[in-house]
Structure 1
Amino acid sequence: MANSPFQQRALGALVGVAIGDAMGMPTQTLTREEIARQYGAIASFRDAGPDQPVSAGLPAGTITDDTEQSILVAHHLIARSGHIDQLAWAQELLTWERDTHTRGVNDLLGPSTKRAIEALQRGVSASEAGRFGTTNGAAMRIVPVAIATPATPLGALVDAVEESCRLTHNTSEAIGSASAVAAAVSRGIEGGSLEEILDAALNAAALGEQRGEPSKGGSIRNRIAAALALAAGRSGTLSAIEIAVEIGTSVSALQSIPMAFAILRLTDADPWSAALTSAVIGDDTDTIGAIACGMAGASSGIAAIPPEAWALVQRVNGLDLEPIVSGLLRLRAARVEEGA
């Protein structure tokens, strides 16, 4: 499939999610100090330690909920002509969580998603169920929406993002942050420069944060801009850690998404560097890595990801992402044709 730069960048985006996710798997939820003590310098995928709170004992290269839910979104979109059926989506998330239990994995639905689905089961409408979702769950699984949707018109892209957020993350910070990531990925697939990608992301964040339940924590667009300013002219892991101390790396969308954008700039959109950097900054390393590496993969393409690294992740998880990306690109082509 990956025979044109456009297709290579689309594949690079979804593969980037898996690479960044797998790199952060053994370090997720740990502090920076714990990561340094348990793993030292991280130069490639590592096995999770026996005391890892979420992924104890998992082998190097194992993906987590970030990639698995992204694939779930992709299959849902392909089966439904690019749209989200809220009730069916809720059931698919519940089925996914049950499956993780049978596999002995402790990746559960995030707090926002869990709360929303429980509300939906009580009879609350989909738009109301997600009104407290302020975490990064929507942004972590948004890459398939971005692959399936052109970067312009921007309003149509944000509409697609909002539809994917409605059930679990119907808040301004969640929609704004997911819109920023989606715009960065979609513009990257189209061949935009890093500055064009970042401009698209900021514009999408500003539009997206006008949707959903108003934020009580401030503007996600401004937080992303501040993170990018901190990263401007800098590079390296030490810079990332210093910025992480200032921004935060928790599951909050107001922390983790700006941090992912900072890493995108610090690494000049190199997906492998983004994955390695994200893995050592502490706390939600797998999600920040999945987002940062997904955006970088969209910008730089699959060729920028070491083939031996991707081969390992494919083998460990049994992944075959090319047909999924092909299906998403067919949706994108249909949307382009509709807008012509």
Structure 2
Amino acid sequence: MTPKESKAAETHGADLDERITEALVGAAVGDALGGPVEGYSPEQITERHGGRVHGVVGPWNGDAWRTARPIAPYHKGDGHVTDDTLLTHALVRVYARVRDHLDAYAIAEHLVPDLMTTPRWIPELEAEALPLHRVFLAEKWLVARLHYGHIDPREAGVGNIVNCGAAMYMAPVGLVNAANPAGAYTEALEIAGAHQSSYGREAAGVFAAAVAAACTPGATPDSVVATCLSLAKDGTRAAIEAVCEEASRHRDFESALAPLRAAVTPYDTVGPDYRSPSLGARRPSRLHAIEELPVALGMLVVSGGDFRQAVLGSVNYGRDCDSIATMAGAIAGALGSPVPGDWSKAVSEASRLDLWEPARTLCEITGEIFKRDVLRRRTHEQLFTAMGGTACSA
């Protein structure tokens, strides 16, 4: 048995509640580890930290984080989660209200008011504030279009910049649809229509499918990637295939950093300078993909599904590494790879958030939704049989 096979075999015994917990906690931990080095290159990260990042680190600009551009006034670092986690937890709260599968209207009716009206602890601001004050413009779009513009929620994402904004918080959709990747893909596309279009929306669907596939007993990084390729369309599919093919040639993230970036470059619209995107960046296209999801899947392959290595590879990749590590952490956690206890404790205490509470909530809701799904399926079977459908299906 190879080291990668050994790591994968260790995860098969995890039950659904454990997978939900590891996925949500793992996403938050990845987010917190990636936050302080977001936007920089692997070389810049190494120079700043005297080597690769191996855990929680402080702000890039040290004590000057309150005023130093381009990050101010956010305290990125020291174990603080970012908007990836804030939105993930917000989506769990929407599931807690609806207690069923979600659609774009649920985003308009529940997520948007949550962002606008309920002050919550924001770790990066070290204060209670409306979540709307923390999210960036691509996420403020939800409020502008749905609350003020009264746009049809299913179409509100059209016109927004195309980025990973919708994909980064779709882990709960994959967990609610655990072991049903096609269902997760469809539900996430519906939800993300309120936020994104084009390959940003597509990435949301594929990421949710990856999390759902990872929950399947016996799942491996390769089986998760295969599921993603079976569902992904256009440039998103091509980017995942190219990056994961390159990732299969590496056994450690150190050797994979530059090759994975080279593999995703033809599909990435942002360009070489992450903080100065090209003129064609973030515009709708069938030929392109967000960078974050293919790289997260690539790091999952490189690590053999091991949480620690998948997240560290994502963090040290740089660029939008908080979102990359959020995705890699969620998928590795859903595979059953345990989140290091010292990391989760440090992030929970620094962020002053109970990282396990959303998981407890989603475990309960997932069971309720599954029971409703079974009842709906049984009702359909009875009606289909009453119409003589059994003869047709035979």
Q: State the TM-score, normalizing by the size of structure 2.
A: 0.74
- C-alpha spacing 1:110/1:59, structure 2 compared with 1 (3 Å): closer
Secondary structure of 2:343's aligned partner: helix
Unaligned runs of 5+ in 2: 1-12, 62-67, 275-281, 283-288, 375-394
Provide the residue aligned with 2:3 in structure 1.
Answer: none
> What residue in structure 2 maps to residue 261 of structure 1?
297
Distance in 2 separating the partners of 1:221 and 1:173: 10
With over 3 angstroms needed to count, the CA separation of the structure-2 counterparts of 1:235 and 1:102, relative to structure 1, is: closer
Query: What stretches of structure 1 of length at least 5 have no aligned partner?
Result: 207-217
Q: What displacement does 1:58 show?
A: 4.6
Aligned residues: 323
Shift of 1:96: 7.2
1:239 maps to 2:256: yes
Instruction: Give the match for residue 65 of structure 2.
Output: none
Q: Shift of the alpha carbon at 1:267?
A: 1.2
- Residue 123 of structure 1: how far off its partner (Å): 2.8
Q: 1:272 aligns with which of 308, 313, 316?
A: 308
Deviation at 1:95, TM superposition (A): 4.7
1:184, distance to aligned residue in structure 2 (A): 1.6
User: Which residue of the other structure, out of 344, 350, 360, is the alignment partner of 1:310?
Assistant: 344
Shift of 1:20: 0.8
Q: What's the CA shift string for 1:90-130, capped at 9, x where partnerless?
A: 23234579975964799843343233432331232222320
The structure that has the greater radius of gyration is: 2
Task: Kindly indicate whether the alpha-carbon contact (under 8 Å) linking 2:251 and 2:303 is maintained by their aligned counterparts in 1.
Answer: yes
What displacement does 1:284 show? Answer: 0.7
SS at match of 1:337: helix
Q: What residue is the counterpart of 2:238 in the other structure? A: 222
Q: CA deviation at 1:44?
A: 1.4
Q: Secondary structure at the match of 2:70?
A: coil
Distance 1:245 1:219, change over 3 A: closer
Could you tell me the percent identity over the aligned residues?
A: 22
> Segments of 4+ in structure 1 off by > 3 A?
55-59, 94-108, 248-253
Cα distance in 1 for residues equivalent to 2:200 and 2:223: 22
Matched with 1:184 is 210
**Secondary structure of the residue that 2:317 maps to in structure 1?**
coil
Instruction: Tell whether the 8 Å contact from 2:107 to 2:194 is kept in structure 1 after alignment.
Output: no
Counterpart of 2:93 in structure 1 is: 75
Deviation at 1:261, TM superposition (A): 1.1
Deviation at 1:62, TM superposition (A): 1.2
Q: Does 1:86 align with 2:108?
A: yes
Q: Give the Å deviation of 1:320.
A: 2.2
Find the partner of 2:170 among 142, 145, 152.
142
Q: CA deviation at 1:286?
A: 0.6
> What is the 5 A alignment of 1:193-208?
193-206=220-233
Q: Say whether residues 1:47 and 2:63 are aligned partners.
A: no
Q: Which amino acid aligns with 1:141?
A: Y
Q: CA separation of 1:59/1:272 partners in 2, compared to 1, >3 Å: closer, same or farther?
A: same
| CA distance in structure 2 between the aligned counterparts of 1:93 and 1:220, rounded to whole angstroms | 29
**Aligned-partner residue type, residue 55 of structure 2:** S
Distance 1:202-1:93 versus aligned 2 partners, 3 A rule = farther
The answer to whether the 8 A contact 2:248-2:301 is kept is yes
Displacement of 1:223 in angstroms is 1.4
Q: Deviations over 1:136-165 (max 9, x none)?
A: 01111011111112332x443223212321
Deviation at 1:241, TM superposition (A): 2.8
Counterpart residue identity of residue 175, structure 2: I
Determine helix, strand or coil for the equivalent of 1:127.
Answer: coil
Within-5 A mapping of 1:127-166: 127-133=154-160, 134-152=162-180, 154-166=181-193
Query: Relative to 1, partners in 2 of residues 1:194 and 1:305: Cα closer, same or farther, differing over 3 Å?
Result: same
Structure 1 range deviating more: 322-331 or 22-31: 322-331
Name the CA shift for 1:59/1:156 in 2 (closer, same or farther; >3 Å): closer
Counterpart contact for 2:179–2:213, Cα < 8 Å: yes
